[in-house]
Structure 1
Amino acid sequence: MSSTSQSTRFNDPKVYAGAHTALITPFLNGKVAWDDLKKLVDFQIAGGINGLISVGTTGESPTLDYDEHIEVIQRMVEYSAGRVPVMAGTGSNATTEALDLTKRAEEVGADAFLLVAPYYNKPSQEGLYRHFSVLAESTAKPIMLYSIPGRCGIEIAVETVVRLRKAHRNIIGIKEAGGQVEKAARLVRELDPEFLVLSGDDSLTVAFGEVGAQGIISVASNWLPAPVAKLNQLVQAKKFAEAKVLHHQLAEIFKVLFVEPNPVPVKHLMHRDKLIQSAEVRLPLCEMSEANRKLVESTADAYKSSIR
């Protein structure tokens, strides 16, 4: 496929429905492990994942320096080679910084942008509207909003999402990670049918799907891409009874991956299964306690036993 046809295809909002992996950034001896990253991209695509998120929260964006941030995006675009879209995390709590990151990510080939609500400085809804408007006006490529009040201290209100969508049609959806099914239902009701509502919580994939959400941006799929992709396929086909059976098999995994800060537990499991060379994270994140390590491993072992 030519780069032009690839670019056109990934401008279609429909390609951002489905199961997307918020991919980890693998490290080895303090540096980004590029060989591991390439293998992970292939592993995800082979598992049926519809798209990849580069340098989001799970990708440890806060502890990547600027050059690393851009290079991870560039390499993921290169490694995916047009097979799936790569959505780059380019949000910031400074509009000028988010604008610069978005422009640089576009220059290195990102297909779309995931823009988190500004954190720490807690802007008003009007401030959020102006922030995202500046970013939407800077590119013709698709933008996915990201509301995660537990990390940011604020949410992107439904009314603000509606207002942004009316003003900027390249704002194609929202990753909703506030844990509120009713908010997802409101977003589905109050936005046009083409607007995408994606769950930001693996444990709510089915519940969000039942109220009309169109996919998931997953942490668990780093370790289990095929089961997460299958779960999403069942949900989108409205085969909720089958989806709930699979969800119950995965439920304890979804829970235990957050027993310590993400992505510490999922990196541990990936290293244990030799998907990456090291479970390294960067300070202020650190390895799990011994008690939580045993809990994560025993939960993973129980899951594997249940599917044999």
Structure 2
Amino acid sequence: MEQLRGTGVALVTPFKADESIDWNALEKLIDHVINGGVNYVVSLGTTGETPTLSAEEKLDLIKFTFEKVKQRVPVVVGIGDYNTRDVVKRLETCPLDQAAAVLSVAPYYSKPSQEGIFLHYKAIAEASPRPVILYNVPGRTGRNMTAATTLRLAHEVENIVAMKEASGDMAQCMQIIKDKPDGFLVISGDDAIAMPQLACGMDGVISVAANYFAADFAAMVQAAIVNNFPAARQLHYKMLEAFDLMFAENNPGGIKAFLSHAGIVENVFRLPVTPVSKELDAKIKAFLDKYK
């Protein structure tokens, strides 16, 4: 799993004005992030507005991403749900032969116990033809996956190889880093605190901001991984205001605003996600006008 150290980017799904998928814009975005130096891409993450995509569109997106990436970097595919049986079925039917790994979010809405979370992931890992990356994001799922549950999965379930941690709890993150098995990757899911998390020993980031700031974000992560923290801090603080603006109202509303100003995607969404407010968009444009 060394190929998943560094910067991964959770790709947005560009839409045209009629809300159909904008395949040309997605190809442009893929080229933009790979040319910027990211280490891998993630298809069908939450940033890709996957709750609004049909099953057929999800399959088309996986195939299109493989085709356009052309093995220049690894591709991770997001497959998660609160219905364990449904995730297992999708793992058996999705075209994953070219995937480096599967990123699977912790079950949301139903708020299972820690034992339920453990058994959910154990079933997924046993069914998955590719290595599995855990994804803890309690702000979206309604339930935190504790360090103890993460470590139990990391030590006991062979096909679970990494963790995307987006709880924002630094103490929990450090406990996982401290007690994880050799070779198990701990990956940040929080752009704004990724640099200090890397200083604590995380192995990389799956980033939203890298959709736009591919070069600077990848350079920050790489500097931190090799303990060049003066360079990492400089880039972190250069982008810090952007992180605040990007997540001020919703994700992916913020990042699509940035990308639309760059002419990479249109500022179009499927409900219930909407564009950011005019006031926030003006602040984003003002920031980009002075960003070097």
Whether TM-score is above 0.5 comes out as yes
TM-score (normalised: structure 1): 0.91
CA contact (8 A) 1:88 1:105 kept: no
CA distance in structure 2 between the partners assigned to 1:139 and 1:88 by the alignment: 12
CA contact (8 A) 1:73 1:88 kept: yes
Question: Secondary structure of 1:87's partner?
Answer: strand
How far apart are 1:106 and its partner, in Å? 3.9
Q: Does 1:182 align with 2:171?
A: yes
2:268 alignment partner in structure 1: 280
2:79 alignment partner in structure 1: 90
Trace 1:16-95 onto structure 2 (pairs within 5 A).
16-28=4-16, 29-95=18-84
How far apart are 1:30 and its partner, in Å? 1.2
CA distance in structure 2 between the partners assigned to 1:273 and 1:156 by the alignment: 37
How far apart are 1:108 and its partner, in Å? 6.2
CA distance in structure 2 between the partners assigned to 1:136 and 1:228 by the alignment: 31
CA distance in structure 1 between the partners assigned to 2:248 and 2:82 by the alignment: 27
Question: Secondary structure of 2:9's partner?
Answer: strand
CA contact (8 A) 2:63 2:95 kept: no
1:220 alignment partner in structure 2: 209
Deviation digits for residues 68-93 of structure 1 (CA, Å, limit 9, x no counterpart): 11211111111111111111110001
Structure 1 residues 279 and 108: CA distance shift in structure 2, 3 A: farther
CA contact (8 A) 2:96 2:130 kept: no
1:243 alignment partner in structure 2: 232
* One-letter amino acid of the counterpart of residue 58, structure 2: H
How far apart are 1:289 and its partner, in Å? 1.5
What is the number of residues matched between the two proteins?
291
* One-letter amino acid of the counterpart of residue 270, structure 2: R
* One-letter amino acid of the counterpart of residue 203, structure 1: A
- Which runs of 5 or more residues in structure 2 are unaligned? none
Trace 1:126-275 onto structure 2 (pairs within 5 A).
126-275=115-264
Deviation digits for residues 124-157 of structure 1 (CA, Å, limit 9, x no counterpart): 1111111101110012411110000011111111
CA distance in structure 2 between the partners assigned to 1:265 and 1:179 by the alignment: 19
How far apart are 1:100 and its partner, in Å? 2.2
Question: Secondary structure of 2:249's partner?
Answer: coil
TM-score (normalised: structure 2): 0.96
CA distance in structure 2 between the partners assigned to 1:96 and 1:55 by the alignment: 19
Question: Secondary structure of 1:25's partner?
Answer: coil
Identity %: 34
- Which runs of 5 or more residues in structure 1 are unaligned? 1-12
CA contact (8 A) 1:267 1:279 kept: yes
Which of 118, 121, 140 aligns to 2:107? It is 118
How far apart are 1:123 and its partner, in Å? 0.5
